[in-house]
Amino acid sequence: MIDDLPGPGTEARAEPVNEPAYKNVTAPSTGKTTVGTPALAALEPLQAALHDKLLSLDRLVTAIERRRADGETVVFTNGCFDVIHVGHVSSLAFCRRFGDIVVVGLNTDASIRAQNKGADRPILDQHSRMLMLAALVFVDYVVWFDEETPIRLLERIRPDVLIKGAHHRGDVKGSDLVESYGGRIELAPIVESQSTTMIINHIRAQGPTP
């Protein structure tokens, strides 16, 4: 079940999440049902993505170490990815240019609420956001974090390249750590007029559906 998706530091299970069907999932942030039984058939194509891409932090580190031994490089980025839009996808495509393995650190619902983005944020719960990211071809692994910054993930994963949007110039969390062991920082170009806040505000401006 999606409720069983591992978070950072959880014990590795015998097998990754790979169940044939999903039951109703209650979003921890709002209590509302976000994935219901009628959507089961539509979600089946995500089984492979779940199996390969959603690992506990311990299993993720092990997988990365194996691939690093074969000469592959690791790129890390992080964010909320609430209401995924073309700007998000563009930044992930940018990440792919800089290495063989793209790892996305995903803010949990609690982590987003702590940022005071708004009483209704996140719009999509962490399970839904994780599934959608894992389904993207540019992404190899998704792992969530509950803290304000992804420093704990960076300490374990030790990416070769840390990537954030250009609007974070001069304030990339974890940059000192990554550069301390020889890693580097890259800034992804921003796609103008594309942000979750803008999308939400546009929808609100339309008013209720008749």
Flag whether 210 is in a domain: no
Instruction: Give the range among 77-81, 99-103, 131-135, 166-170 with minimum mean pLDDT.
Output: 166-170
pLDDT exceeds cutoff 70 at 20: no
Check residues 140 and 41 and name the one with the higher pLDDT: 140
What is the pLDDT at residue 4? 45
Flag whether 155 is in a domain: yes
| Percentage of residues in the chain having pLDDT higher than 70 | 69
Flag whether 27 is in a domain: yes
- Residue 68's Cβ-side half-sphere holds a number of Cα atoms within 13 Å equal to 13
Show the tokens assigned to 117.
Answer: 């983005």
Mean pLDDT, range 50-76, rounded to an integer: 94
Q: How many other C-beta atoms can be found within 10 angstroms of the C-beta atom of residue 36?
A: 11
> Average pLDDT, whole number, for the chain?
77
Specify the residue for token string 């044939």: 20
Flag whether 87 is in a domain: yes
If DSSP codes are grouped into helix, strand and coil, which group holds residue 110? Answer: helix
pLDDT exceeds cutoff 70 at 197: no
| Of 116, 104, 195, 190, nearest in space to 150 by CA | 104
What is the pLDDT at residue 137? 92
pLDDT exceeds cutoff 50 at 25: no
Strand runs labelled E in 118-183:
141-145, 161-165
Which range marks the domain in which residue 98 is found?
2-36+44-205
Flag whether 96 is in a domain: yes
| Of 120, 97, 93, nearest in space to 203 by CA | 120
pLDDT exceeds cutoff 60 at 36: no
- pLDDT tens-place string over residues 83-123: 888 888 999 999 999 999 999 999 998 988 888 777 777 88
Flag whether 135 is in a domain: yes
Query: What is the C-alpha to C-alpha distance for residues 94 and 92, in angstroms, rounded to an integer?
Result: 5
pLDDT exceeds cutoff 50 at 12: no
* Total-model pTM: 0.75
Query: What is the C-alpha to C-alpha distance for residues 21 and 182, in angstroms, rounded to an integer?
Result: 43
Backbone dihedral region of 81: left (phi > 0), alpha (psi from -120 to 50 degrees) or beta?
A: left
What is the pLDDT at residue 67? 97
Q: In degrees to the nearest 10, what's the CA dihedral of 26, 27, 33, 39?
A: -90
Strand runs labelled E in the chain:
25-26, 33-35, 74-79, 101-107, 141-145, 161-165, 184-188
Burial class (CB in 10 A: 0-12, 13-18, 19+), 157: buried
Task: Look at the chain and report how many structural domains it folds into.
Answer: 1
What is the pLDDT at residue 121? 77
Question: What is the CATH classification number for the domain harbouring 109?
Answer: 3.40.50.620
pLDDT exceeds cutoff 90 at 29: no
What is the pLDDT at residue 170? 80
| Percentage of residues in the chain having pLDDT higher than 90 | 43
Flag whether 122 is in a domain: yes
Specify the residue for token string 């796609």: 191
Flag whether 108 is in a domain: yes
Query: What is the C-alpha to C-alpha distance for residues 32 and 73, in angstroms, rounded to an integer?
Result: 40
Check residues 70 and 44 and name the one with the higher pLDDT: 70
